[in-house]
Amino acid sequence: MAGITDLPFRRLVAGFGAGLVVSEMVASQEMVQAKPGMRERAELGFGEADTAVQLAGREAHWMAEAARMVEANGARVIDINMGCPAKKVTSASGAGASGSALMKDPDHALSLIEAVVAAVDVPVTLKTRLGWDDAMRNAPALARRAEAAGVRMITIHGRTRCQFYKGQADWAAIRAVTAAVRIPVVANGDICSAGDARRALDLSGADGVMIGRGVQGRPWLLAEVASALYGTPRPDRPQGAAFADMAGAHYDAALSFYGTELGARVVRKHLGWYMEVAGTPPPLRREVLTAGPAEVPRLLTAALSAPVRVAA
């Protein structure tokens, strides 16, 4: 998730025991050419265990070059994004009609997949949606072609691009993809608890789940769901002072990673989500979100020290 799953947050999520974390979507051409604005994403966590780097783009040359670059720097998995619905990504006047716009041109999409697979030795995975719209639900056909091209795993968000994030993800519709391929399929969309994950797996027939927005404010959630589903060690959900300490450490890590001014802005949304989870009173919440960096750690102690209210 662009602007959310940066390295400080991924390290926090991984520290609770998540099976796999994925970098922010990175534009392939901009990465290779190191254009301004990419500095904050330059440290993608190369070489860290259980991390995938997600690439987006529309030109096979740049996708392949970016894939070679991240592999050479130690990436463990390369994920190709063909699911982002944002207008600035899918518009021809934006990032070059990439992301989920590629589902409208499966032949071209396949050429990008083939270029990336041929360029690297590490596993290549694919993230898509059900299709562009209800008239073009072509995820099963694209999945079959991706599997034949060498993709090792496919994640499907249970909406079309034109649905954006409206309504409820259609986990049952993902079953057509699981039936079409032999490689692992991962269900995604609206999974916010272990119960959601079980239902998504039952309805989709998928081999696993990917959690996106559900982890906002709850970095322990992925490990908690894995424990409920597969019996892996259950993480200690931080409560009270431990929750405040966790959020404070995340705040410090963001300021160290980005610099004080930018880091304080970037991490502010995470502080808001933590306070939503903790049920922080609105006046104290506003104080935290408007305070300067020197005051935030002290205020977090007051804002997050009450028991966490989030349901299991």
Q: ∠ CA(132), CA(133), CA(136), 5° rounding?
A: 75
Among all chains, which residue has been given the structure tokens 């265990």?
49
Q: Determine contact, residues 4/214, Cβ cutoff 8 Å.
A: no
- Distance from C-alpha of 262 to C-alpha of 40, rounded to nearest angstrom: 9
Helix/strand/coil (H/E/C) assignment for every residue in 63-130: HHHHHHHHHHCCCCEEEEEECCCCHHHHCCCCCCCCHHHHHHCHHHHHHHHHHHHHHCCCCEEEEEEC
Structure tokens at 104: 């409208």
How are beta strands 185-188 and 208-210 bridged, if at all? parallel
Extract the runs of DSSP E, i.e. beta strands, from the chain: 21-22, 26-27, 51-56, 77-82, 124-129, 153-157, 185-188, 208-210
Per annotation, catalytic residue among 84, 117, 130, 191: 84
Residue type, 83: G
Other CB atoms within 10 Å distance of the CB of residue 145: 19
Number of continuous H segments (helices) and E segments (strands) in the chain: 13, 8
- Which of 285, 269, 277, 225 is CA-nearest to residue 4? 269
Dihedral pair phi/psi, residue 188, rounded to 5°: -140, 150
Nearest to 144 by CA among 177, 102, 99: 177
Q: Is 84 one of the annotated active-site residues of the chain? A: yes
Give me Rg for the CA atoms of the chain: 20
Alpha carbon distances (Å) from 67 to 90, 99, 265 = 21, 16, 30
* Catalytic center residues: 84
